[in-house]
Amino acid sequence: MTGSPAHKSMTPTVDALVRPAIRALRAYHVPDATGLIKLDAMENPFAMPDKLRQPWLAALGEQALNRYPDPRASLLQTTLRATMGIPADMGLVLGNGSDELIQMLALALTEPGRKLLSFDPGFVMYRMIATFAGLDYVGVPLRAEDFALDLDAALAAIEKHRPILTFLAYPNNPTGNLFEADSIARIIEASPGLVVVDEAYAPFTDHSFLSRLGDWPNLLVLRTVSKMGLAGLRLGYLAGPAEWIGEIDKTRLPYNINVLTQTSAVFALRHAEVFDAQTQMIRTERERLAAALMAMNALQVYPSEANFLLLRMPVGSAGRVFEGLKSQGVLIKNLDGAHPQLRDCLRVTVGSADENQAFLAALTAVL
């Protein structure tokens, strides 16, 4: 009988069916930026230039939306290889943003008791995706004074936990600094599993491990086109030895790169010089913004090779400053409470010259 106590006792409940590890998580929160100068998400502030807009829209108009996209995105792969200098003998797989590729890696390697290792404070999705996939997360603290890699601590953690998968953000998010290349090499050599150098912010630094693919059999390089001005496309790519890429590709869902993303990315990459010029403007603004902030003497500005700056506010003031900026129409990221080493810290994306000036004026008023 449908209304019987026995039937009610068999009714599925969230508590009974959802894994405790997932129940303990909070969903990734993206704040509403309506009406605000948006400097919280490390986006390129420049839109598609007018001279490219019509030919881009024309290219989109030629696509058959009633058909599934090329499942391997072959033309896009070829264009990425040529534009980004991916070694010809390395495998390549594409993802719906780098987040999907992190998830694919975790799914390919997960087994009960296996570990995913990274460095904290770092990109929150490493820990979250480890949890999604059933991997144990190991976070190795960065040095408190400058957020540099503590090589001895890293090597000790690798020896103790024997991680199947290790992520190094290069430059690191949310701190912006670039880890020592020699230390990364030592970590790769010491690791029993795969090591992924995550170069999401490659457009804003002259350092990369892409050309070193093949130097170690367990090295992969992860990138995204988001930071070069194409965040809305959600396109990431993972390069490394073909044997590894072939296995990771098995976890990719069919048709994961839609036809509009494929077409838009190929178009943009064929005009890479336009986006490179935007990147150079952001680099110039980064240095100008950092100098202006350091001149205030009321806060600490950490060196950055990304398109954002990490700031440490006077003790106990981060929340007040964050809300004060928001009330003045500027949204940045409040990291106070996200990790013990980020106490009193805020992170600001480098925007356009006008956006950065508005941020500086608002910050001056709030401080």
pLDDT digit string, tens, across residues 87-130: 999 999 999 999 999 999 999 999 999 999 999 999 999 999 99
Average pLDDT of the residues in 166-186: 98
For residue 45, cis peptide bond before it (omega within 30 degrees of 0): no
List the CATH code of the domain at 65-270.
3.40.640.10
Angle made by CA atoms 299, 302, 306, in degrees to the nearest 5: 130
Share of the chain above pLDDT 70, in %: 98
What local confidence, expressed as pLDDT, does residue 337 receive?
Answer: 94
Q: Binning pLDDT at 50, 70 and 90, where does residue 54 land?
A: very high
pLDDT for residue 291 is more than 90: yes
Measured between alpha carbons, how far is 320 from 298 in angstroms, rounded to an integer?
A: 14
What local confidence, expressed as pLDDT, does residue 1 receive?
Answer: 46
Cα-trace Rg, the chain? 22
Task: For the chain, give every domain's residue range.
Answer: 14-48+273-366, 65-270
Domain 14-48+273-366: top CATH class? alpha beta
Q: Binning pLDDT at 50, 70 and 90, where does residue 286 land?
A: very high
Average pLDDT of the residues in 310-321: 97
Measured between alpha carbons, how far is 117 from 240 in angstroms, rounded to an integer?
A: 19
What local confidence, expressed as pLDDT, does residue 3 receive?
Answer: 54
- Angle, in degrees to the nearest 10, between helices 50-61 and 259-269: 140
Q: Binning pLDDT at 50, 70 and 90, where does residue 2 land?
A: low
pLDDT tens for 16-53 read 888 888 888 787 777 888 899 999 999 999 999 999 99
As a whole number, the mean pLDDT across the chain is 95
Backbone angles phi, psi at 344, to 5 degrees: 70, 20
